[in-house]
Amino acid sequence: MKKYLFPFLFLLVFAQERLLAQQDFRLHSHNDYLQKVPFWEAFSAGAASIEVDVILQDGRVMVAHEKESIRLERTFRSIYLEPIQRAVELGMIDEFDFHLLVDCKTEAYSTLKQVMEDAAEFPSLLFSSQNPKGLKLIISGNRPKPEDYSSYPEWILFDYQSKNLTPDLPWEKIGMVSLSFRQFSVWNGKGRMVEKELQGVKDFIQLVHQFDRPVRFWAAPDSKSAWKAFQDLGVDFINTDQPKAAQEYLATLEQRVYSAEEKQPVYVPTYQWDGADMPVERVLLLIGDGNGLAQISSALFANGGNLNLAQIRNMGLIKTQAADDFTTDSAAGATAFATGQKTNNRALGVGPDGERLKNLPEILAEKGFSSGIITTDQVTGATPAAFYAHHPERDDTDQIAGYLPKSALSLVIGGGKSTFLRLDSAMSNAGFEMADRLEGLGEMKSNRVAYFSSLGSNPSMEKGRGDFLTKNALEALKFFAQKKTPFFLMIESAMIDSGGHANSTSTIVTEMLDFDQLIGEMIRYADSNPGTLIVITADHETGGVSIPQGNLERGEVELGFHSDDHTGILVPIFAYGPHSGEFRGIMANTEIFEKLIQLIRISDK
């Protein structure tokens, strides 16, 4: 019994993968017999066309490309027909959504005669008028003359290989049209085809489709760029020696491609106070959680090649490493911004040894500054919490919330109301008025205000959050204007990070575009309020994101992901307003704190 267990489980795994591989594209497993597990790998990848090179030798149909590579145990029957029969018996196949493309390497008529004799021993598999869901064989390589096609049974079709397509061909017996891609283009799958060659490919595909037949190119480039290009062109069977990789790429392509329906307006700054040597009276620290250069680029390309962020002239790069790890988390990254000290991952406002670290709101309160935080996350999320809490574990939500009433913050906006309901009296005793709606928040006369926008987490942009971030920021600016004091405001766009973790292009782009709308309004505010310094950065990059392809005219970008976690990639920093030139170059994340403190000290003089 045990000796049959592993093969049975092995087949079940392939059956499960086949079920998951239902797709709107079709793959041709080229030279399938060279795969480590012929037939099964292509079958599990959902291949719709599986190529078998055959040689007639001593009355047997051998699976091989040339006689020198023949192995006696590898026959058409043993490698393909018998496994297919077994898959049917096991219930893995109830109808055939694939065919075998049999490439005859020896003389056409005699080879095809023996192929038919072998296949005829499996009559229940084969297509017929009585079995319309059966298996078809498409004969390629050495083939009979077209005028003889009609003499072969229903389950035998042919691969036509010529540019000369006319109505008088025996189309009822032609299963597909295949040609070498090299007849049309020298493209190697890197970059893109030149326009003249591309048009030739399009014209041929259109011609084949006029006869209602599928098209395939062999000797074609076999890469991600090529697979996407062939899918976009409408190639019916995408030729590949990597069916599993091609399936995984194309099946997730829709999730990784985003196309913006509308372009967002971009505010053009006046630059009147940008880089000016003047006192810093207001600091806006805008943090895009998980936001790396590729994330910014994806939004820029989706928006037709421009962003509010792209208007900023002073920029640099930040090294994000934590005290105890090459790759930081948000807690350690935000603590570096808030305190100027490296700490261990998961720690908030405490050093590697657990010592309490003074944060920016606490330090600035001594200089007469008011402070606030806004986040699309919950208020107890790692990034906002680093600006008020002092705790070694970011997931201790209740303990972290307990630091808020004792903090130096005057304004708090974000999700997670359910956590703070238990602290209602503590918040009230600390002077916090709980706003029940966003409208009018900026006119509230209380010294301290908290607005919790949701019981738990806020929705993403894709799920209808709308202009929450910008509206809250503008209300916050009104609130601080009433105080007539200098202020520090940290605003976090938290869900760019979520998109990186989920490897979701649409989440990344929509969240980054929302962040950019905020940036535009904050630049507009800075232009009207001299002495406002805006610093825009990220705590880390998430997803190891790249941008292999895109289209500016369509606002389309394709993102690739190396990871579903944070990475150690340098992240950009941008600055606008007085002394913005101080943020050029490559710097450690702790230097942001140091520069802000230094600039405020200069302003004191």
CA dist 14 and 83 (Å) reads 12
User: Would the pLDDT of 11 be above 60?
Assistant: no
Question: Tens digit of pLDDT for each residue in 104-149?
Answer: 999 999 999 999 999 999 999 999 999 999 999 999 999 999 999 9
- Give the pTM: 0.88
Among 448, 496, 511, 455, smallest CA distance to 476 is for 448
Token pair of 251 as six digits = 């099946």
Among 35, 381, 44, smallest CA distance to 53 is for 35
**94: DSSP letter:** S
| Residue in the structure block whose two tokens are 């760019």 | 496
**Which amino acid makes up residue 253?**
L
Total residues found in the chain within this entry: 605
Beta strand 532-537 with 571-576 is: antiparallel
Among 95, 178, 84, 101, smallest CA distance to 137 is for 101
Token pair of 357 as six digits = 């670290």
| Segment 405-413 mean pLDDT | 97
- CA distances to 159, 205, 282 from 184, rounded to whole Å, are 18, 11, 61
599 falls in which pLDDT band (50, 70, 90)?
Answer: very high
Higher pLDDT, 23 or 317: 317
Evaluate the CA torsion angle 102, 103, 105, 106 in order and state its sign. positive
442 falls in which pLDDT band (50, 70, 90)?
Answer: confident
Residue 283 sits at φ, ψ, to 5 deg, of -120, 120
Lowest mean pLDDT among 12-16, 62-66, 122-126, 227-231: 12-16
Token pair of 257 as six digits = 């491609």
| Segment 461-474 mean pLDDT | 96
**Which amino acid makes up residue 161?**
Q
Q: Which pLDDT does position 443 carry in this prediction?
A: 86
CA dist 173 and 89 (Å) reads 29
Q: Which pLDDT does position 3 carry in this prediction?
A: 40
Q: Which pLDDT does position 492 carry in this prediction?
A: 98
Token pair of 561 as six digits = 């992901």
**98: DSSP letter:** -
- CA distances to 140, 198, 240 from 56, rounded to whole Å, are 14, 39, 25
| DSSP-based three-state secondary structure for 338 | helix
Q: Which pLDDT does position 120 carry in this prediction?
A: 96
| Segment 236-252 mean pLDDT | 96
601 falls in which pLDDT band (50, 70, 90)?
Answer: confident
User: Would the pLDDT of 198 be above 60?
Assistant: yes
Contacts of 180 (CB under 8 A, 6+ apart): 217, 218, 219
Q: Which pLDDT does position 135 carry in this prediction?
A: 97
In what helix (H) or strand (E) does residue 575 lie, and over which residues does it extend?
strand 571-576
In what helix (H) or strand (E) does residue 225 lie, and over which residues does it extend?
helix 224-233
In order of their start, the domains of the chain are 13-251 (3.20.20.190), 275-410+484-604 (3.40.720.10)
Higher pLDDT, 322 or 6: 322
| DSSP-based three-state secondary structure for 483 | helix
Question: Tens digit of pLDDT for each residue in 160-176?
Answer: 999 999 999 999 999 99
The 10 Å Cβ neighbour count of residue 310 is 17
Q: Using alpha carbons only, how large is the chain's radius of gyration in Å?
A: 32
Q: Report the chain's mean pLDDT, rounded to a whole number.
A: 94
Percentage above 90 pLDDT, the chain: 89
Q: Which pLDDT does position 445 carry in this prediction?
A: 84
Token pair of 527 as six digits = 């232009």
CB-count burial class (<10 Å; 0-12, 13-18, 19+) for 72: exposed
Lowest mean pLDDT among 15-24, 127-136, 213-222, 499-508: 15-24
Q: At what angle do helices 330-339 and 590-604 cross, to 10 degrees?
A: 20
The 10 Å Cβ neighbour count of residue 362 is 20
Question: Tens digit of pLDDT for each residue in 351-403?
Answer: 999 999 999 999 999 999 999 999 999 999 999 999 999 999 999 999 999 99
Contacts of 163 (CB under 8 A, 6+ apart): 179, 183, 204
Question: Tens digit of pLDDT for each residue in 320-350?
Answer: 999 999 999 999 999 999 999 999 999 999 9
Biggest CA-to-CA distance, the chain: 99
CA dist 398 and 10 (Å) reads 48
Q: Which pLDDT does position 348 carry in this prediction?
A: 98
User: Would the pLDDT of 1 be above 70?
Assistant: no
4 falls in which pLDDT band (50, 70, 90)?
Answer: very low
Higher pLDDT, 210 or 22: 210
User: What residue ranges in 88-183 does DSSP mark as E strands?
Assistant: 99-104, 137-141, 156-160, 174-180
CA dist 169 and 176 (Å) reads 13
CA dist 35 and 582 (Å) reads 57
Beta carbons of 414 and 453 less than 8 angstroms apart? yes
Evaluate the CA torsion angle 416, 418, 419, 420 in order and state its sign. positive
Percentage above 70 pLDDT, the chain: 96
Beta carbons of 350 and 390 less than 8 angstroms apart? yes
Q: What is the dihedral of CA 111, 114, 120, 122, to 10 degrees?
A: -90
**Which amino acid makes up residue 457?**
S
